Structure 1
Amino acid sequence: MTSPRVVAVLLAGGTGTRVGHETPKQLLEVAGRPVIAHALGAFDRCDAVDEIVVMMAAGHVEDVERIVEEYGFAKVSRVLPGGATRTDSTRRALDAVHEDCLVLFHDAARPFVTERIIVECVEALRGGYRAVTTAIDSADTVVTVEGGRMTGSLRRASLARCQTPQGFACATLVEAYRRADADPEFTATDDASVVSRYLPDEPIGIVAGDPRNFKITDAIDLRIAEVLADES
């Protein structure tokens, strides 16, 4: 029996507002290369990945196509316009890939994803999970707050911070979103939470993340990324 193809989807719909730029943060340079080029390179080099699809912010599709050509990312098959929200971009990506594949969703603003993480996500899916997420332990105590006051704290040992990639048997994520469509109160910030909420009996595997696999969000993150790039 032929193993299903692995398609990596890079979600690049974010803007550069919080990092102080009008240019989308995925196109800003770190160590002389666009942020998205760092992330694309990791997936393009990984033998566990067969194909890459990029969901780019509207109006900047051609910018990414030029980057793909310049750096010779041979596995990139399509650069498509993303939606207004992250979940909209996910839906568009699901429409663009074959339902029999395994799909990895990764934030393009996480430039330092490692081959180890990518491979372990794929291995977890091939090993029986139909949904996995990358996560790292919470180093901080998380408290509940109401009215400007601390009302309690959560048990740190049972908490983790999600990263990407998150991986799925494509049909599983399609079904989760189909059920979400019937919920007028549906909101989500990541895809694993959609599976968790709408397919509660579906176990979600955990792949150990890496502190370096952080998401560039604020201006200070760009400075941290420069330091990490110089050390690698």
Structure 2
Amino acid sequence: MVALLVADIDAIRVAVRGEPLLAHAIRGLAESGCVDHVVVAAPTGAESIVRAVPGARCRVLPAAATRADSIRCAFEAAGSCDVVLLHDAVRAFVPAATIRSVVEAVRRGAEAVAPVVPVTDTVKLVGADGVITATEDRTRLRTLQTPLGYARNALRDACARGIDPMSFPPGTVQTVAGHPNALRLATPFDVAVAEALLAQQA
């Protein structure tokens, strides 16, 4: 089973406990016990980070002009496999159990699988004038996480048709339970939260 790991510059520059997010993400995939190989699409500088991860079975490709092109190039380099994971390196601390749940759902027959968590905030729709126009029913809202899981043929067809794999058509993606630790580390506050979570687990 292959994981496609898409990394932006933040995954290389931002560090938690002295290591770039990219290194944490690679280690997390390996420790899930179900990923045989990782194809990394990343900006310049990723190679040295990957080499520093003990036992990492990775191939590093240069990031393409767009995220969709990076995914397509990584998929083409993945080789033969039955399940493909698509992961965002800035979600570096996804629990192994979540990764395994995604893989198992694909192997049970789902073409595309996404881990999700319930929305807990009150969500409002706001018009162009800044006035609230409606309140969304949050019982049906979910926040999408990664890794996303795909049957190989489903992802191949999406790439061939130019469909963004992160935006499969409604009604085609099965969900599994995500985890709060799989937050996207986009701000200094997010990094501080990740540091605190790791300290609790130590």
TM-score under structure 2 length normalisation: 0.90
1:63-142 aligned at under 5 Å gives the runs: 64-76=46-58, 78-98=59-79, 100-142=81-123
Partner residue, 1:230: 199
Runs (4+) of structure 1 moved beyond 4 Å? none
For 2:169 and 2:86, how far apart are their aligned partners in 1?
Answer: 16
Partner residue, 1:196: 169
Q: Deviations over 1:97-131 (max 9, x none)?
A: 23653110111011211110111111001111010
User: 2:74 corresponds to which letter in structure 1?
Assistant: A
Q: Deviations over 1:153-212 (max 9, x none)?
A: 21111110000000101221221233346xxxxxx5xx242x226xx5xx3211111111
Identity in percent: 35
Partner residue, 1:146: 127
Q: How many aligned residue pairs are there?
A: 200
Partner residue, 1:56: 42
> Aligned Cα RMSD in Å?
1.8
For 2:121 and 2:150, how far apart are their aligned partners in 1?
Answer: 29
For 2:106 and 2:176, how far apart are their aligned partners in 1?
Answer: 11
Partner residue, 1:3: none
Uncovered stretches (5+) of structure 1, i.e. residues with no partner = 1-5, 16-23, 182-187
Secondary structure at the counterpart of residue 52 of structure 2: helix
| Residue 84 of structure 1: how far off its partner (Å) | 2.4
| Residue 70 of structure 1: how far off its partner (Å) | 2.1
TM-score under structure 1 length normalisation: 0.79
